[in-house]
Chains A and B, each alone.
Chain A
Amino acid sequence: MNAISKLSIGQVNSMVLLRLLIGWHFLYEGVIKVYSTTWTAKGYLLSASFFQPFFQWLASESILPAVDVLNIFILLVVGASLLIGFRTKWACLAGIGLLLLYYLAHPAFPWLPQGPSEGSYWLVNKNLIEAAALLVLALFPTEKRFGIERMFKTKK
C-alpha cells in the first residue's frame, strides 16, 4: 500500500520519533522569532559566503520584511504539521527547501570561511543532515499512524 506499511512497529515508531523531533525543532525556532521584536535574517543573508548576489538581494530593504515573515511562517507551518501529523509530505518538502537555503548561504565548503558555528564541518553540516532526514520522512509518511490524519484513516 505505502512505504510505511512494510515497516516493523519499531521502525515506524522510530520514524514518528524523528518526525516529532524535527517538528519540535522547527516550531520552537519559529515561535522564538514570533515573540522576538528585533529578529531579522538580515545579518545571516548579508554575511552569506555563497550565491552572495542572491542572498544580498533577499536582504535588500524592499524584500527583507517579506523574507523575514515568510521564514517564520514556514518554520511554524512545517513545525506544526510534523508535530500534529497533517500533510507531512508537503511540510517535509517545504522544510527541505528552507534548510537548503540556509545551507547554501553558508555551506560547509572547505574553501569558504566557516563563520560562527558550534562544531567542525566538512561539506556536511547539521542543516544538510536535517534536510536529508526530512527527505526520509517525506518518503515514509507516518501521520496516519500518529497524527490527525489517523482520524480519517479510521473513518475509512
Chain B
Amino acid sequence: MSTKQNIFQTLTRRDWLKSLGGLSLFGAVWSAGASFSTKAKRERNILLQTLNIKASAPPPTATMEGSPLRIGIIGFGGRGEHLVRSLGYATTEWLEEMSRAEKENPADTRLKEFKDQENLNIRLTGVCDVFDVHANKALQSFNGNGNTCKRYRTATEMINSGEVDAVVIATPDHWHAPLSIEAINAGIHVYVEKPMTHSIEETYTLRNAVIENPKVVFALGHQHRQTQSFLTAQDAIAKNVLGHISLVMTATNRNDDNGAWQYDIHPDANTKTIYWELFLGSAPKIPFNAEHFFRWRKWWAYGSGLSGDLMTHDYDRINCILKMGIPKFVTASGGIYTHRDGRNVPDVMQINMEYPDFKTGTSQEIGKEQGMTFVYSATLGNQLDRGTVLMGHDGSMELGNAVTIFADSGSTRYKKMIEEKQIDPYVPIFQYDPSVNGVDAVTSATAKYFANKGLLWTYRDGKRVDSTFLHLREWISCIRNGGKPSCGIQEGFEEAITAHMGGLSYKLGRKIEWDNEVQKIVALPGEDLDAILLENKV
C-alpha cells in the first residue's frame, strides 16, 4: 500500500499524462469501432426485417431404405455417365482419372466428394447405348460389388425386361419423348434429360401418358431447382422485394469447342460399333455419319438448338421462381455466325418471350403495372458472363449460386429509405451466398460458369452438394415415399412448348402465339408446325 502511495506521489502531472494518455486513445478507438459497427448492424437489421426474406429450409431428407430400386440407363454418353455417377456408380476410367488428379493436386476433392455421397440404395441393372464402346464401358465398370448390369440392345427390351423399375434417359433429344412414353405406358418410372420433347405433338402425347399413369413418377432433369439460392429467390419474389417485374434477362455465353457442341469423335466409331438405324429413329434416313452421331446437338434432326438445348435451362430457372408459364408471344432471331461448320442450328440466338398478363406485386397504384418480357440472349462466340437479372420497379435481382438484390434509385417502396441514406442503390440490400466466399480451386472455367448459374453445385448447410445428385434423389424419394418431383410433367410441358415456340419463331421469322384457351400454338392455315420445327436443311 505504502509502495503504491510512493509511486503515485512521485508522479507529476506530465507523468500521469504520458503514462495513461494511451488509455484514452484506446477508449476512443474502441468506442468508435463499436459505435460504427453497432449503427451499421442496426440499420442493416431494420432493412432485413423490412425485406423479411428467408431462405427456405431444404426439404426434409426422406428415407432411402427398403429393397434396392433397379434402374436402367438409356444413353451412356457424357451426360449419362454424370447421372449414373450421381446415382453412386462411377466408371473405372473416371475413378482412375480422379485418383490421379487427387495425387497431383490434393485440393482436388472430386473423388472424395463422390465417395462421401449418400448411398441411394439403387442397383444399376441395365444399360442401353447404341455405341458398343459406351455400353461396354458400363458393363466393365458396373458388374461386381454386388451389382449386375446387363446390356440391352434396344430400350424396348430393357423396358419390358421386368428387370428395371425405373429408367434414366440421357439420349439425343429426338429420343427423349418416344422412350419416356414407352416406359411410362409400361409402368416404369422416368427421369429424362431436358428438353422434354423434340416435337410439339409428342409434348401432348407425353403429358397424356403421365396423366394416364398416375403411379409412375416422371421427372425432368432441371437440377437447378434443388439449388438453395433459388428457394431464397422465390421467397424474395413472394415478399414483393422487387416490385413489379417488367423485364427478365438471361444469357448463354460460350466460346470453346466443347461449349459449341464440337465434341470429340471416338476413333472406334463405325457401322460395326454403332447401331446407326436405331440412333436415327425419327430423324431423316442418311448413311452413317460419325459427326452426326457425336455432335448431334448441331442439327435440328436430333437436337433442339439453343432454344431447346440451353434456353430451357434458363426458362425453367425463371419459371420455378416466377411461375409465369408459357409466354403469349415468342419472337426469335439469330444465325450461324461463329461456327460455320455445316451445322443447321443457330449459334447466336435472341428469344423474346412476352407475358402481357403477368403481374407480380406492386408498390404503386393498382392497375398501373402489368406485363413482362423475358429475354434470352445466347452466343457460342463469346464467354463474357452476363448473368441473370430480374428487373422490377423497386429493385433488381442478380441470380446465380448467390442472390444479390439492389434497390432501384427510382423505387417507390424504398424512396424514403434512399432519401434518408439508409439504402444506397449501389450497395446490395440483400445478399445470399451459400458458399460464404468459397473459392473453388478445382473446377474448370466451364464448371464455374455452370456453378454460378446454379446448375452444378448447390450448398446444403454450407456443404457443397451436386445438384444433379439432389435432383435424382428427389425423384427416387418420390418413387419410394410418394410425393411430386419439383420438375414434373406440367413444368416440362411449359418448358417444351416455350422452347418449340422459340425454334418456330427462328425458323419462320415471325412472332409465334400461344392460345391458352385451347392450349395450342397458333398455326396459320395449312402450316404444319412440327414439320417446320424439325426441318433439317443445312
Q: Residues of A with Cβ closer than 8 Å to B?
A: 20, 23-24, 27-28, 31-32, 34-37, 40, 42-43, 46-47, 52-53, 56, 79-80, 83-85, 145-151, 154-155
Question: Is B10 an interface residue, CB under 8 A from the partner?
Answer: yes
| Residue of chain A at shortest CB distance from B36 | A32
Contacts of B37 in A (CB 8 A): 31-32, 35-36
Binary A-proximity of B173-198 (CB < 8 A = 1, otherwise 0)? 00000000000000000000000000
Q: What's the nearest-Cβ distance from chain A to residue B110, in Å?
A: 16
* B21 pairs with A146, CB closer than 8 A: yes
* A28 pairs with B29, CB closer than 8 A: yes
A119 to B243, CA, bound (A): 39
* One of A31, A52, A146 near B22 (C-beta < 8 A): A146
* One of B18, B26, B106, B437 near A42 (C-beta < 8 A): B437
* One of B3, B6, B29, B439 near A31 (C-beta < 8 A): B29
* A150 pairs with B23, CB closer than 8 A: no
* B19 pairs with A150, CB closer than 8 A: yes
Question: Is B60 an interface residue, CB under 8 A from the partner?
Answer: no
* A27 pairs with B7, CB closer than 8 A: no
* A27 pairs with B107, CB closer than 8 A: no
Q: A52-B441, A154-B10 are in contact. Are A35 and B15 (CB under 8 A)?
A: no
* B30 pairs with A27, CB closer than 8 A: yes
* A28 pairs with B32, CB closer than 8 A: yes
A67 to B69, CA, bound (A): 45
Contacts of B29 in A (CB 8 A): 24, 27-28, 31, 79, 83
A4 to B36, CA, bound (A): 37
* One of B7, B10, B15, B439 near A46 (C-beta < 8 A): B439
Question: Is B522 an interface residue, CB under 8 A from the partner?
Answer: no
* One of B10, B33, B107 near A32 (C-beta < 8 A): B33
* B15 pairs with A27, CB closer than 8 A: no
Q: A28-B33, A151-B19 are in contact. Are A20 and B107 (CB under 8 A)?
A: no
4 more contacts with CB within 8 A, not counting A27-B29, A31-B30, A147-B18, are A20-B22, A35-B33, A146-B21, A151-B15
Q: What would be 24 A-B contacts, judged by CB atoms less than 8 Å apart?
A: A20-B22, A23-B22, A28-B29, A28-B32, A28-B33, A31-B37, A32-B36, A35-B34, A35-B37, A36-B41, A42-B438, A43-B436, A46-B441, A47-B437, A52-B107, A83-B23, A148-B19, A149-B19, A150-B18, A150-B19, A151-B19, A154-B11, A154-B15, A155-B7
Contacts of A150 in B (CB 8 A): 15, 18-19
* B6 pairs with A155, CB closer than 8 A: yes
Q: What's the nearest-Cβ distance from chain B to residue A13, in Å?
A: 11
Question: Is B38 an interface residue, CB under 8 A from the partner?
Answer: yes
Question: Is B25 an interface residue, CB under 8 A from the partner?
Answer: yes
* B436 pairs with A42, CB closer than 8 A: yes
* B438 pairs with A46, CB closer than 8 A: yes
Q: Residues of B with Cβ closer than 8 Å to A?
A: 3, 6-7, 10-11, 15, 18-23, 25-26, 29-30, 32-34, 36-38, 41, 106-107, 436-439, 441
Contacts of B438 in A (CB 8 A): 42-43, 46
Contacts of B20 in A (CB 8 A): 148
Contacts of B32 in A (CB 8 A): 28
Contacts of A155 in B (CB 8 A): 3, 6-7, 10
Contacts of B30 in A (CB 8 A): 27, 31
Contacts of B15 in A (CB 8 A): 150-151, 154
Contacts of A31 in B (CB 8 A): 29-30, 33-34, 37
| Residue of chain A at shortest CB distance from B17 | A146
Contacts of B441 in A (CB 8 A): 46, 52, 56
* B7 pairs with A83, CB closer than 8 A: no
Contacts of A145 in B (CB 8 A): 18
* One of A40, A43, A52, A146 near B18 (C-beta < 8 A): A146
A56 to B21, CA, bound (A): 41
Contacts of B25 in A (CB 8 A): 20, 23-24, 83-84
Q: What's the nearest-Cβ distance from chain B to residue A33, in Å?
A: 9
| Residue of chain B at shortest CB distance from A48 | B439
A83 to B30, CA, bound (A): 11
Q: What's the nearest-Cβ distance from chain A to residue B45, in Å?
A: 10
Q: A53-B107, A155-B7 are in contact. Are A46 and B33 (CB under 8 A)?
A: no
* A35 pairs with B41, CB closer than 8 A: yes
Contacts of A35 in B (CB 8 A): 33-34, 37-38, 41
| Residue of chain A at shortest CB distance from B26 | A83
A63 to B18, CA, bound (A): 41
A96 to B32, CA, bound (A): 25
A24 to B22, CA, bound (A): 10
| Residue of chain A at shortest CB distance from B8 | A151
* B36 pairs with A147, CB closer than 8 A: no
3 closest residue pairs by CB, A with B:
A43-B437, A31-B33, A35-B37
Contacts of A148 in B (CB 8 A): 19-20, 22-23
| Residue of chain A at shortest CB distance from B438 | A46
Q: What's the nearest-Cβ distance from chain A to residue B280, in Å?
A: 49
Contacts of B34 in A (CB 8 A): 31, 35
A83 to B24, CA, bound (A): 9
| Residue of chain A at shortest CB distance from B11 | A154
Q: Which of B25, B29, B36 has the most CB of A within 10 A?
A: B29
